[in-house]
Amino acid sequence: MIQFSEVSKRYHGGNEALANVSFSVEHGEMVFLTGPSGAGKSTLLKLLALIERPSRGQIIVNGQNLAGIRRRRIPHYRRQVGVVFQDHKLLHDRPVFDNVALPLTISGVPYNEIPRRVGAALELVGLLHKERALPVQLSTGEQQRVGIARAVISRPPILIADEPTGNLDPELSYEVMHLFQRLNQVGITVLVASHDHNLIRRLGERFISLRAGHLVPPELSGDTHAGA
Amino acid sequence: MPARDSGAQLNRRTLGQRLRAYLHHHRLTLLRGFTQLGQHPLATFMTVAVIGIALALPAGALVLVNNARGLSAGWQGTARLSLFLKTSVSDAAVQQLAEQVRAHAGVASVQVISAQQSLADFQQRSGFNDTLSLLGNNPLPAVLVIQPTPEASTPAAARALAQSFAALPQVDQVRMDVQWLKRLQAILALLHRGVLSVAVLLAIAVVLIVGNTIRLEIENRRAEIEVSKLLGATDRFIRRPFLYHGAWYGVTGGVLAWILVLIGLALMGGPVGRLASLYSSHFSLSGLGVDGVLDLLVSGIVLGWLGSWLAVARHLRAIEPT
Same domain? For B70 and B106 the reply is no
Give the pLDDT band (50/70/90) at residue B75. Answer: low
Q: How high is the pLDDT of residue B300?
A: 95
- Domain termination site, one of B154, B177, B200: B177
What are the E-state strand segments in chain A?
A: 2-10, 16-25, 30-34, 56-61, 64-65, 81-84, 158-162, 189-193, 206-211, 214-216
Q: How high is the pLDDT of residue B149?
A: 79
Quick check: is B5 in a domain? no
Quick check: is B63 in a domain? yes
How much of chain B, in percent, has pLDDT values that exceed 90?
33
Residue A15 has pLDDT above 80, yes or no: yes
Residue B1 has pLDDT above 60, yes or no: no
Interface contact B230-A78, CB threshold 8 A: yes
- Domain termination site, one of B145, B177, B209: B177
Q: How high is the pLDDT of residue B20?
A: 83
In a mutational test of the B interface, the residue from A71, A85, A105 whose CB has the highest number of chain B CBs within 10 Å is A105
Q: How high is the pLDDT of residue B100?
A: 85
Q: How high is the pLDDT of residue A21?
A: 93
DSSP letter string, A196-207: -HHHHHHHT-EE
Same domain? For B291 and B152 the reply is no
Q: Which of B5, B224, B230 sits opposite A155 (nearest CB)?
A: B5
Same domain? For B67 and B188 the reply is yes
ipTM of the complex: 0.89
Instruction: Indicate the number of domains in chain B.
Output: 2
Residues A30-74 have pLDDT tens digits of: 999 998 888 889 999 999 999 999 999 999 999 999 999 999 999
Beta bridge pairs of residue A210: A215
Beta bridge pairs of residue B173: B84
Same domain? For B56 and B87 the reply is no
Domain range holding B146? 80-177
The answer for residues whose C-beta is within 8 angstroms of residue B254's C-beta and 6 or more apart is: B51, B52, B55, B296, B297, B298, B299, B300, B301
Q: How high is the pLDDT of residue A227?
A: 42
Give the pLDDT band (50/70/90) at residue B72. Answer: confident
Give the pLDDT band (50/70/90) at residue B77. Answer: low
Note the helical H segments in chain B.
6-12, 15-37, 41-76, 91-102, 115-126, 129-134, 155-166, 179-220, 222-230, 235-278, 289-315
Q: How high is the pLDDT of residue B94?
A: 85
Same domain? For B275 and B255 the reply is yes
In 3-state terms, what secondary structure has residue A31?
strand
Same domain? For B200 and B309 the reply is yes
Residues B166-199 have pLDDT tens digits of: 888 888 888 877 677 778 888 888 999 999 999 9
Q: Which of A92-101, A154-163, B5-14, B35-44 has the lowest mean pLDDT?
A: B5-14
Residue B267 has pLDDT above 70, yes or no: yes
Interface contact A186-B22, CB threshold 8 A: no
Is B226 or B152 the better-scoring residue by pLDDT? B226
Q: Are strands A81-84 and A2-10 parallel, antiparallel or unpaired?
A: unpaired
Residue A80 has pLDDT above 90, yes or no: yes
Same domain? For B108 and B150 the reply is yes
Same domain? For B117 and B229 the reply is no
How large is the average pLDDT for residues B14-40? 82
Residues B192-239 have pLDDT tens digits of: 999 999 999 999 999 999 999 999 999 988 989 999 999 999 999 999
Quick check: is B197 in a domain? yes
Q: What letters, b where the CB count within 10 A reaches 16 and e where it falls short, cover A74-111? A: bbebbbbbbbbbbebbbbeeebbbbbbbbbbbbbbbbb
Same domain? For B57 and B87 the reply is no
Residues A203-227 have pLDDT tens digits of: 888 989 999 889 987 655 555 554 4
Q: How high is the pLDDT of residue B253?
A: 96
CA distance B3 to chain A (A): 6
Give the pLDDT band (50/70/90) at residue A228. Answer: very low
Quick check: is B165 in a domain? yes
Beta bridge pairs of residue B63: none
What letter represents residue B23's amino acid? L
Give the pLDDT band (50/70/90) at residue B161. Answer: confident
- Domain termination site, one of B177, B205, B233: B177
The answer for residues whose C-beta is within 8 angstroms of residue B189's C-beta and 6 or more apart is: none
CA–CA dist A179, A173 (Å, integer): 10
Quick check: is B1 in a domain? no
Same domain? For B198 and B311 the reply is yes
How large is the average pLDDT for residues B69-89? 75
Quick check: is B153 in a domain? yes
Q: How high is the pLDDT of residue A16?
A: 86
Which chain A residues touch B232 with a CB distance below 8 Å? 75-79, 103, 106-107, 154
Q: How far apart are the first and last CA of chain B?
A: 30
Residue of chain A whose Cα is closest to the Cα of B5: A155
Interface contact B231-A102, CB threshold 8 A: yes
Question: What is the CATH classification number for the domain harbouring B112?
Answer: 3.30.70.3040
Residue of chain A whose Cα is closest to the Cα of B319: A51
Q: How high is the pLDDT of residue A226?
A: 46
Interhelix angle B222-230/B179-220, nearest 10 degrees: 70
Quick check: is B9 in a domain? no
Is B82 or A151 the better-scoring residue by pLDDT? A151
Same domain? For B70 and B214 the reply is yes
In 3-state terms, what secondary structure has residue B175?
strand
Quick check: is B16 in a domain? no
Q: Which domains does chain A have, with CATH numbers?
A: 1-80+156-228 (3.40.50.300), 90-155 (no CATH)
Using an 8 Å CB-CB cutoff, list residues of chain B that contact chain A. Answer: 1-7, 9-10, 13, 17-18, 20-22, 24-25, 223-224, 226-235, 237, 320-322
Give the pLDDT band (50/70/90) at residue B278. Answer: confident
Same domain? For B196 and B303 the reply is yes
